[in-house]
Amino acid sequence: MPSRPASDDPRLGDLSEGDILRAILARTVPASHAVIGPGDDAAVIAAPSGSVVATTDTLVHGPDFRLAWSSGYDLGWKAAAVNLADVAAMGARPTALLVALAVPRDLRLSFVEQLADGFREACGALAPGCAVVGGDLTVSDVLTVAVTALGDLEGRSAVTRAGARAGDAVAIAGELGDAARGLAVLFGRFRDGETPVPVDPTRLGSGERSALVAQLRPSPPIGLGPVAATAGATAMMDVSDGLALDARRLAAASDATIALDGAALGDDPERALAGGEDHALLATFPSGVLPPGFRRIGEVRPRAEDDLLLDGRPVDVSGWDPYRDWDSAAG
Amino acid sequence: MPSRPASDDPRLGDLSEGDILRAILARTVPASHAVIGPGDDAAVIAAPSGSVVATTDTLVHGPDFRLAWSSGYDLGWKAAAVNLADVAAMGARPTALLVALAVPRDLRLSFVEQLADGFREACGALAPGCAVVGGDLTVSDVLTVAVTALGDLEGRSAVTRAGARAGDAVAIAGELGDAARGLAVLFGRFRDGETPVPVDPTRLGSGERSALVAQLRPSPPIGLGPVAATAGATAMMDVSDGLALDARRLAAASDATIALDGAALGDDPERALAGGEDHALLATFPSGVLPPGFRRIGEVRPRAEDDLLLDGRPVDVSGWDPYRDWDSAAG
């Protein structure tokens, strides 16, 4: 849909909640599984498996994104993608999103419309049939997008982090380290002192541009979650805090050690291990099983002193902790 | 559980995400319907009806609560209650909550622990078997609690806002106007200029105290949602923005007019009509049906020029719009 012209782009504080919701709903498509969609006290979504997978993840202006760097479209896309990835990581197919939006009064209507576009198009591209079925709109000085994603297991068992067994192959689907590289480009190239400034794509090479897309508008391999579950994945998780930290979590939950092969981690193994926000799928498979879209990066071993090894040696790279790493710079 | 002593009450910014989550999870009980609870990428909740009811509602510091007036326990209780009410208003039984928490770094751990206690005890009191099954923790300068509630229809059809028919009785379960009276007590008695100050209960009469509880720690009649659905409610909704505005919404969705009986609205019909945040259940029933817990307050008529009448006359009381009414005072 076309963007709103600047001459007709009111601030949200000058509109009623109903006005804003109407503008958002005009850009929302029905979810295939929605029995009752937006507009009532709650939505009703089909859960044909007799269970529902549910997860929630929030993006907060400051620690999670900056308006100088992310458009409304980027923000909606990313908020959808990171939640869809958590559903996929259980082996489920995403069916619906609920979006709780807290917006500053001086934000423009067009921003929220673009946000709705980003949600719609991310769902269309990454999880066809899934869409926003409900939400909530409130005011806040800090722009906050809290999303809940629901999914259906289609008769499969959920794939948790706890099922990896010695002898399983460790595999990954999706990229490692690109999102972190994109963040480094933003912090390194598009700040004036501490203040983020808009991205000028003409200053970027093609590798930097694709890293930026991985950071701002990620495309995790959502459809491969159900593929992995069907193939017999013994454990699976979304890599959001860096492969090192997340592989350790999977190893701990499974009471095993994960031994990674550095040569399988690309040109920059350290970035692949430490970089957060990739939303790749980390899975373990019985020996001899490797579904299309996954590549082998190591193996599961019996639990040893160290829960994570790289080429046989303990790994001292840690991951991303939003508490420790947050700075409250504006922008 | 006992509160954390002041000498051992760190600020959240001095803790890791894992530390904080462990403290919260220690105060969380399993949900009856949870197949997989907190700790994996997503929770899995039983949906025995083959569908799931889902709703989201957010409380933001400033427009929705003030730390000077609400304890962590109050905030957790209210955030649970308002979401449970939306599930109940579809005729469903709440099964699970997901909580996305954005917290300032200088908030104390004990506050978050009390918040978890409030969630647990509100679920226990209002919707036994329902509990927090998942969540997300991030940092923000504005304390924000975004909750998603899930529910099961137990084989019933969902009760929307759209089914009221001329001749139906209009009925309410729960209180009208008490929460607004409580807010008036807070604004009128517990501010220093524009700044909220802590509540001194010794300055309050018993009516004021119960109004304050209705505002800070509401107890909507969650169990009566399924009761109404079983009894054959033709339409139902949660009264969150005042009876006048919400009854108009139900009338519009049903293409009908709602005629209220002023004598049934208590001592202060204007407050009952205008006051928000009651979370009473407004329902319509076929003539002659009125399940226990509901009281008749009017009738449904064929759609006329005015969609809402009080004692036969148009109603000019409007409801609560958080955009229009928000002031950004701190406290």
SS3 B161: coil
- Nearest residue in chain B measured CA to CA from A89: B41
B12 touches chain A (CB under 8 A): yes
Beta strands in chain A (DSSP E): 34-36, 43-46, 51-60, 93-103, 131-139, 144-152, 169-173, 191-192, 195-196, 235-239, 256-260, 280-285, 295-302, 308-310, 313-314
Q: pLDDT digit string (tens) for A174-205?
A: 999 999 999 999 999 999 998 999 999 899 99
Q: At what angle do helices A72-88 and A109-126 cross, to 10 degrees?
A: 30
Q: Are the beta carbons of B199 and B66 closer than 8 angstroms? A: no
Answer yes or no: is pLDDT of B331 > 90. Answer: no
- Tell me the shortest Cα–Cα distance from B207 to chain A, in angstroms: 30
Q: With CA atoms as reference, report the closest residue to A237 among A122, A95, A85.
A: A85
In whole angstroms, give the CA distance from residue A22 to residue A38: 11
Tell me the pLDDT of chain B averaged across its residues: 93
Instruction: Give me the pLDDT at residue B20, please.
Output: 94
In whole angstroms, give the CA distance from residue A291 to residue A300: 17
- Tell me the shortest Cα–Cα distance from B70 to chain A, in angstroms: 18
Structure tokens at B39: 């700790």
C-beta atoms of A148 and B45 within 8 A: no
Give ipTM to 2 decimals: 0.93
In whole angstroms, give the CA distance from residue B91 to residue B213: 25
C-beta atoms of B100 and A62 within 8 A: no
C-beta atoms of B138 and A87 within 8 A: no
Q: pLDDT digit string (tens) for B96-129?
A: 999 999 999 999 999 999 999 999 999 999 999 9
- The closest CB to that of A323, out of B15, B50, B236, belongs to B15
How buried is residue B22: exposed, middle or buried, by Cβ count under 10 Å (0-12/13-18/19+)?
exposed
DSSP character for A164? -
Answer yes or no: is pLDDT of B249 > 60. Answer: yes
SS3 B313: strand
- The closest CB to that of B138, out of A58, A236, A253, belongs to A58
Instruction: Give me the pLDDT at residue B316, please.
Output: 81
Answer yes or no: is pLDDT of A87 > 70. Answer: yes
DSSP character for B15? S
Predicted TM-score (pTM) of the model is 0.94
Answer yes or no: is pLDDT of B321 > 60. Answer: no
- Provide the chain A residues 110-149 that lie in CB contact (below 8 A) with chain B: 133-136, 138-142, 144, 146, 148-149
B201 touches chain A (CB under 8 A): no
Q: With CA atoms as reference, report the closest residue to B198 among B68, B109, B286, B301.
A: B68
Q: pLDDT digit string (tens) for B40-49?
A: 999 999 999 9
C-beta atoms of B63 and A139 within 8 A: yes
**What integer is the mean pLDDT of B246-261?**
97
- Tell me the shortest Cα–Cα distance from B133 to chain A, in angstroms: 9
- Tell me the shortest Cα–Cα distance from B264 to chain A, in angstroms: 25
The gap from C-alpha B43 to its chain's centroid, in whole angstroms, comes to 23
Answer yes or no: is pLDDT of B239 > 50. Answer: yes
Number of A to B CB contacts under 8 A, please give it.
245
- Provide the chain A residues 42-61 that lie in CB contact (below 8 A) with chain B: 42-58, 60
DSSP string across A87-149: HHTTT-EEEEEEEEEEE-TTSBHHHHHHHHHHHHHHHHHHSTT-EEEEEEEEE-SS-EEEEEE
The sign one gets for the Cα dihedral A300, A305, A310, A312 is: negative
Share of chain A above pLDDT 90, in %: 89
A187 touches chain B (CB under 8 A): no
Answer yes or no: is pLDDT of A320 > 60. Answer: no
Please report the domains of chain B, with CATH numbers, ordered by start residue: 11-152 (3.30.1330.10), 169-324 (3.90.650.10)
SS3 B18: helix
- Tell me the shortest Cα–Cα distance from B38 to chain A, in angstroms: 10
Q: Which residues contact A86 (CB under 8 A, 6 or more apart)?
A: A55, A57, A149, A238, B41, B42
Q: pLDDT digit string (tens) for A231-276?
A: 999 999 999 999 999 999 999 999 999 999 999 999 899 999 998 9
Answer yes or no: is pLDDT of A323 > 50. Answer: no
In whole angstroms, give the CA distance from residue A112 to residue A152: 28
Answer yes or no: is pLDDT of B266 > 50. Answer: yes
Answer yes or no: is pLDDT of A112 > 70. Answer: yes
Tell me the pLDDT of chain A averaged across its residues: 93
Q: pLDDT digit string (tens) for A24-76?
A: 999 999 999 999 999 999 999 999 999 999 999 999 999 999 999 999 999 99
Q: Are the beta carbons of A316 and A273 closer than 8 angstroms? A: no
DSSP string across B293-310: T-EEEEEEEE--SSSEEE
- Nearest residue in chain B measured CA to CA from A105: B323
